[in-house]
Amino acid sequence: MLQQTTTEAVIPYYKRFIEKFPTIQKLANANLEDVYKMWEGLGYYRRAKHIHETAQIIMDKYQGIFPSDYQDILSLKGIGPYTAGAISSIAFHQETPAIDGNVLRIIARQYLIKDNIALSKTQKKVTEIVQDLLIGYDASSFNQGLMDLGATICRPLHPQCEKCPIHESCQAYINHQEQVLPINIKNIKHKELNYITGIITYQDQFLLIKNNQGLLENLYGFIQYELESPYSFIEEFMNEYHHSLSIISYIQDIKHVFTHRTWHMHVYHFTINKPLENMYTLHDIEQLPLSTAHLKVLKAYLKETNLNH
């Protein structure tokens, strides 16, 4: 849950999730839609799918016992080298490094590493340094200490070097490079996408579709097309569903930012003259895992039509 999300935001979700799925077995046996529902609002829903799959793997392959071997942990869905290292060292006291952004920053400053820490070869270099530092020490305390140091003192901007317990050996501090390092330049291509998003209603029901693949896999949302006009939306809907729509009103524009793309959703209200499959009341929708982006759309519609209670 903490991947890409702050601790403060995660805590209430974590408590609800653990209450709903207190054991690996209960999580493994749960319906995926129920897991998504408990994840609703956190975003990055693939994490929820991975944790569900991992619970099933642990039940099937490891008889319900979380594996202690680093490579076995690393093989689980959604667990990368950092998480595997953190689990191995903290839960099982093995001498494995846990390299996150905090550790990359601290080591780059300590050793005056001028290479870009966003590159895998630099991260490998840092991992090797930490691996050597761990030998003979309590890896759990070491890794957690570095995480805390990076979060509180050796921060990305304006590090508090005078308070740092290791500043006397820090080559960046000695060479007055602490405000420059680390070099962290990510090459991210960000897409801007424009959609006409249709809130299609029949009486008190809303038409929602379940995404079978892609960014919002297994989540529900409103129909949207990458078009520039609501009238083009009506034509596209007719081509796909063979039913006509009546346009009622423009609701508003909604912007939703993902890691590598931004959605600009131009939201319109349409009606249909007879119910189709996959139409849901507001009560029904409360039970469905709705994507965060489309939850914004629904709230905007309800506010606009004074149905929000």
CATH code where residue 117 lies? 1.10.1670.10
Task: Decide if 107 contacts 119 (C-beta within 8 A).
Answer: no
Domain final position from 151, 170, 187? 187
Please give the structure tokens belonging to residue 212.
């079978």
Domain final position from 187, 218, 235? 187
pLDDT value at residue 211? 86
| Residue 4 pLDDT greater than 80, yes or no | no
Q: Is residue 15 part of a domain?
A: no
Q: Does residue 197 share a domain with residue 176?
A: no
Tens digits of residue pLDDT in 59-116? 999 999 999 999 999 999 999 999 999 999 999 999 999 999 999 999 999 999 999 9
Q: Does residue 204 share a domain with residue 108?
A: no
The mean pLDDT value for 222-243 works out to 93
Q: Does residue 200 share a domain with residue 290?
A: yes
Report the mean per-residue pLDDT for the chain.
92
pLDDT band at 309 (very low <50, low <70, confident <90, very high): very low
If one counts the domains in the chain, the total is 2
CA distance 170 to 161: 9
Global pTM value? 0.67
Structural domain for 127, as ranges: 97-187
**Which region, left, alpha or beta, applies to residue 169 given φ > 0 means left and ψ of -120 to 50 means alpha?**
alpha
**CATH number, domain containing residue 294:** 3.90.79.10
The alpha carbon of residue 37 and the mean position of all alpha carbons in its chain are separated, in whole angstroms, by 15
pLDDT band at 304 (very low <50, low <70, confident <90, very high): confident
pLDDT value at residue 54? 96
The mean pLDDT value for 220-232 works out to 93
Please give the structure tokens belonging to residue 14.
């974590």
Q: Does residue 282 share a domain with residue 223?
A: yes
Q: Is residue 53 part of a domain?
A: no
Q: Is residue 270 part of a domain?
A: yes
Q: Is residue 26 part of a domain?
A: no
Tens digits of residue pLDDT in 262-295? 999 999 999 999 989 899 999 999 999 998 899 9
Q: How many CA atoms lie within 13 A of 222 on its CB side?
A: 28
